[in-house]
Every structure is written in C-alpha cells, then in structure tokens.
Amino acid sequence: MNEIRDRVEEICRAGAAARREMAAASGQVRSQALVLMAKALRDGSAQILEENGIDLAAAQESGLSEAMCDRLRLTGERIESMAQALLHVAGLEDPIGSGSVTTRPNGLVIRRVRVPLGLVAMIYEARPNVTVDAAALCVRTGNAAVLRGGREAIHSNTVLTSLLQDALTKAGLPRTGVQLIPFTERESATALMEMRGYVDVLIPRGGKGLIRSVVEQARVPVIETGAGNCHVYVDEYADIEMALRIVENAKMQRPSVCNAAETLLCHSAVAETFLPAFRARTRGRLTLRGCERTRAILPDIESATELDYETEYNDYILAVRIVDSPEEAMAHIARYGTGHSEAIVTRSLEHAAAFQAGVDAAAVYVNASTRFTDGGEFGFGAEIGISTQKLHARGPMGLAALTTEKYLIEGNGQIR
C-alpha cells in the first residue's frame, strides 16, 4: 500500500508542477495540442483497438454485463468520434482570460478574469472515452490532469494516455500535463482522494457507489457528478406517438449511460393506450417492472419494488408507475430522482411550465429525450461529467466549469 501511495503522490507532485506550465501556455498552443491529440488517436487506432480488445475479453470473461461492456467497447467509429471531439474543443472560444472590468470611484481598476483550476484529478469507471474527454477539457483550459480509471479499461486507458502525452510533447507542453494512475487497486483511489496540497479539485464519474465513496472520503475539494436515476413522465395531454419515440430513445438508445431513463411515469388517463403500445414496441428487447396498476394493464410484466424505483439499472430494464397528476409525478421524482435529467411529454403549456419550474434537476426537458444531457449535444464539445450539485457547476461540465475567477487590481498609489 505504501508503494502505491508513494507512486500516486509522485504523480500528483509532477502534475502540480506541470499545472504552472499548462496555465502559462497560450490559448493557441493549448488548441494546437488538441489538434495533435486528435491526429495521435487516428494514427494509433490499431494499437488502441488491440489494447481495448484485451480489456473487453477480460470483462466478458469476468461476466460484466453487455450494457457495461458497451461502455468499455471502442470501435473505429468511436475513436473517430473522440478525435472529432478533440478538434471541436480545440476550436471553441478560450475561456481563460475572459471577464469584466470595473473602475471604482477611487480610481482602482478591478478586472475579474477566468483562470485554470490547477491540477484536476478524476476517478472514473469503465469508459475509456472519459480519458480523452478529460484530457481535452483540462488541456484546453490550461489545467493539468491526473486520471484514475477503472480496472476494466486499464489497457485502453494506458495506450490512450501515452498517445495523448506524445501529442503534448510535440506541442511543447509538459508530458506530465496529463497522467494516468497505473494502479486499479482501491488503495490508489483512496490515496488520490487524500492528495491535499497537490490536487485542486477531484471529479468522480461513475455509479452511485463510486460517487458516494469519493464524496464521503475525499480530503480534497470534490465536484459531485451524480448517478442518473432519470424519469420520463407521459402526461395526460401527451402526443402518444411522440411519447413512444421519446421513451424508447431515452431508455434504449444507450442504456448504460447516466442520462438514460430508468423510470417511466404514465398518467392514468392515457395508461391504457400508451402502456400496451409501448410494451408491443419494445417486447423482447426491454424488461418492464411495474406497479400494481401497471400490471393490471400489463399482467405479464414483473412487479416493481421500492428498490426498483431507486435503481440506476444501466441495462435494458425500466421501472413503470401510473400516476394521477403532474404533481404526483413530480413528487415521485423528488423522492427517487438524483437531480440529473427529467422529462415530460405533453401538449399542455401549463403542465410543461409547472414541470420545469417544479422539478429540481440539472436538466429538465419538455417533449425531448433525456439522452441530450451531454456536453457535445449542448454545444460544449466534450464534457468532464454531469454535475448534479449546485455550487460552482451544474449539468454538463464543459470548458467554463474547469475555470475559476481571479481578481486583478491596478492602482496609482491608493491606500485605505
């Protein structure tokens, strides 16, 4: 354990030193680094796929679910998407140095400017694309990054980090601007959580257990990215065909991600029409678990328990509950939701406005799938996570979320 902790501290010390060089680099240099990173991924795609294949084989042998294997799996198309995300972030407006200027009555000129956070650490699970997203956003904003991925993706993350570091070097930036913790033992995560004096902020990204562990144990500042127990509420005034498309997409387009729907709430006035149609549309592809009122309409589905409404499945399973009003739907969301993404399908402007005002979540949708809660879909380029807390950042965390403020004051001899 001491060996692991010592190595983690060594990595963080190097990252803390690199953050000064990263912050001093011009926006043009940081942008060019991302262009070189994109080229490195494209040129190294065969190597990436080979290492990812090792991770996938081990994951499948260990019995990891297909939905979770999908999170882990890289393809030529996904590598190209990561390269495109890098290029997109490279072209975004640089937030560093932006701000405002105020001149006080005594002549003091006060400038408020955006600056990097410093050394950003991440602990995340089996999604190798997070390695690239995190590196992209940190480099573009002049931060250094220390990344600790899950054991399922260790080979993928190692080769990706090496390629990204090569690109940093070519751009004239320190190789230690992006580093990967080479251990997957729990002790390495614990050590990273305790790196006060080196780590400026720690961002966990993964399931509820991982996030809770980091929030409760960390001795460094944490930005909480929440698990996604997301809901779609089909209102009595819903367009049924639209609702069918939205619920199917929110649940099934990619069930392993945090913005996938986990519970369907259906108004009793449309339940006898909507639920059989949805069941027919998804039969054989989706397991439904419903309340007793739902099972009176769909007697062949499983019975939902209290635990089902609390669960982020990340799988082809959907909990269902019939409600009698938007207020009842919102009460259910308030009790079981995680503050991530919630949706209503309705043609009622009144119900839509009440839902958006009354639901406390980072993203609240009207007549659209929850699957859009994503940095790329919001126009931020890549994202470093979806924040469900209310301080500093909330929702998809793009470039601005990795900066803080600094005040620069200029005078000509003023004293107080």
pLDDT, tens digit, 9 for 90 and up, residues 52-95: 999 999 999 999 888 789 889 999 999 999 999 999 999 999 99
Q: Which residue from 134, 189, 193 is spatially nearest to 164, judged by alpha carbons?
A: 134
Label residue 265 by pLDDT band (50, 70, 90): very high
The predicted model gives 29-41 an average pLDDT of 98
Calpha distance 25→14 (Å, rounded): 17
Percent of the chain topping pLDDT 70: 100
The predicted model gives 269-277 an average pLDDT of 98
Residue 388 pLDDT = 86
Evaluate whether 392 touches 221 at the Cβ level (below 8 Å): no
* DSSP assignment of 392-409: S--EE--SGGGEEEEEEE
Let me know if 393 is exposed, middle or buried by CB neighbors in 10 A (0-12, 13-18, 19+). Answer: buried
CA distances from 201 to 37, 120, 375, 385, 402 (A): 24, 5, 20, 13, 9
Label residue 1 by pLDDT band (50, 70, 90): low
Let me know if 227 is exposed, middle or buried by CB neighbors in 10 A (0-12, 13-18, 19+). Answer: buried
User: What single DSSP character describes residue 98?
Assistant: -
What pLDDT digit, counting tens, does each position of 143-153 carry?
999 999 999 99
Label residue 310 by pLDDT band (50, 70, 90): very high
The predicted model gives 92-110 an average pLDDT of 95
Calpha distance 402→349 (Å, rounded): 36
Name the phi and psi angles at 288, rounded to 5.
-105, 140
Report the predicted TM-score, pTM, of the whole model to 2 decimal places. Answer: 0.84
Has residue 289 got a pLDDT over 80? yes
What average pLDDT does the structure give for the chain?
A: 95
The predicted model gives 348-363 an average pLDDT of 97
**Where do we find the tokens 């963080």?**
12
Q: Say whether 145 sits in a helix, a strand or coil.
A: strand
